[in-house]
Structure 1
Amino acid sequence: MMNVRSYSLGPIQTNCYIVSNKEKECLIFDPGEEAGRIIKVIRSNGLKPLGIFLTHAHFDHIGAVDAVREAFGLPVWIHEKEVSWLDDPSKNGSSKYAALPDYVVTKPAEENIIKAEQVFEISNFVFKAIFTPGHSPGSISYVFNQDGFALVGDTLFEQGVGRTDLLGGSTKVLLASIHNKLLTLPEDTIVYPGHGNYTTIGAEMETNPFLNGF
């Protein structure tokens, strides 16, 4: 059984997830800010990180990537459609906010660019990267079927859905992603979103007002 640690980080309180196994190996999802805090958590718990996975490349999800990557010598995975966003503040959104620095992140190695939906097997972590665009064109959800949870970025929230007024966003595409990719998961699947509280697929099917009438 995997252990999922959640940390709300940075000015927008973006959720970073550290998923670990019994061997204390871990994967890091969306290290968006506060690199020092992430590094301290990993070291203080004796964890051995194996990689960083990004649900998408908005600035609040990528801010600590370089520092965490360099601290542990980690590979980084991201959808091919948003590789160019990492070092382009106009695409990752940081340039829109005068109070924020421009977010510039080093691009990953070619072999870590996700070009198709795929199953990852890293040590005893087994999960699938599924494409859930709409909030952004390269949004990915990572589904741990055997462990009953999914990390969905800013695609689906408790009683909400991701915004679609940013670069490459589309409400129609977002709702199709949710209905065709996420709501087809078992209803007891725990949903870990990019912001706010966790929920379940069943709960959102029943009560999410944004999904009614699709």
Structure 2
Amino acid sequence: MKWRQIPLGPLQTNCYVIENDEKEAIIFDPGGDGEAFVQWLNNQGLKPLAILLTHAHFDHIGAVDHVRDAFSCPVYLHENEQGWLMDPIKNRSTNFMGEEQAITVKKADHIIHEERLLTIGSFIFTIFETPGHSPGSVSFYLEKEAIVFSGDALFAQSIGRTDLPGGNQQQLLESIHEKLLELPEETVVACGHGPTTTIGQEMDGNPFLSGF
């Protein structure tokens, strides 16, 4: 199994693509550049099985319908943000990009209601609820590959912003400490923006996590 980080969309948000030996793939947070991204997936011979959204801010969802329509694959999103896909005010695209470029996406096919195991084909994830950056933020942990897709919860030497509607810094810090930092230190953190890191590196050197 292998994975790749592909920055997409207006904020170059990290989309992640993981694939198995059969070229089946899971897509995380396809943030934009939909036509080009679909072409890339086709050129790679990949067969997306699902789109997993860590949350529904505009920069993480811009290419969702391009991928879903091209490959007939379902979208997973937490219940606390299920209305954000269709609402450009809630997903913040109106605020950041203006009404002419506002992003609307069809509703999610599967709603995440709780922390649980999620099996899609040969891929087995643990879903962690990690709110704080947004109320429906989740992280997807692939234990077999020692990687967690954290969205905008935890970054290399930083944490997600909490000044947008529904954000809560105390809640985010609790999510990070109680869920993410409990993972093995060698676990790779596949962040929503910037470079990847590891749980151990953030435990040792992230200035936002000291003194919590």
TM-score by length of 2: 0.97
SS at match of 1:113: strand
Bigger shift: 30-39 or 78-87?
A: 30-39
SS at match of 1:37: helix
Query: Hey, what does 1:69 align to over in structure 2?
Result: 68
Distance 2:56 2:207 in 1: 27
Q: After superposition, give the CA deviation of every residue in 1:68-123 in whole Å (9 maximum; x if it has no partner).
A: 100111110000000111111111011112556111110023xx100011111112
Query: Hey, what does 2:206 align to over in structure 1?
Result: 208
Distance 1:72 1:54 in 2: 16
Query: Hey, what does 2:79 align to over in structure 1?
Result: 80
Query: Hey, what does 2:107 align to over in structure 1?
Result: 107
Distance 2:168 2:77 in 1: 20
Distance 1:72 1:161 in 2: 33
SS at match of 1:150: strand
Q: After superposition, give the CA deviation of every residue in 1:132-189 in whole Å (9 maximum; x if it has no partner).
A: 0000000010000111000000000000000000010000000000000000000000
Structure 2: gaps of 5 or more residues:
none
Distance 1:40 1:129 in 2: 29
Query: Hey, what does 2:132 align to over in structure 1?
Result: 134
Amino acid at match of 1:92: N
Amino acid at match of 1:95: T
**Within the alignment, does 1:46 sit opposite 2:52 as a pair?**
no
Distance 1:39 1:135 in 2: 28
Query: Hey, what does 1:97 align to over in structure 2?
Result: 96
Output the aligned Cα RMSD: 1.0
Amino acid at match of 2:101: P
Q: After superposition, give the CA deviation of every residue in 1:10-32 in whole Å (9 maximum; x if it has no partner).
A: 12110000110111100000001
Q: How does 1:4-23 map to 2 (within 5 A)?
A: 4-23=3-22
Bigger shift: 91-100 or 61-70?
A: 91-100
Report how many residues are paired.
211
Amino acid at match of 2:161: R
Distance 2:37 2:4 in 1: 11
Distance 2:39 2:17 in 1: 12
SS at match of 2:89: helix
User: Displaced runs of 4+ in structure 1, greater than 2 A?
Assistant: 97-100
Query: Hey, what does 2:143 align to over in structure 1?
Result: 145
Amino acid at match of 1:149: I
Counterpart pick for 1:192 among 186, 190, 193? 190
Bigger shift: 69-78 or 92-101?
A: 92-101
Distance 1:187 1:55 in 2: 21
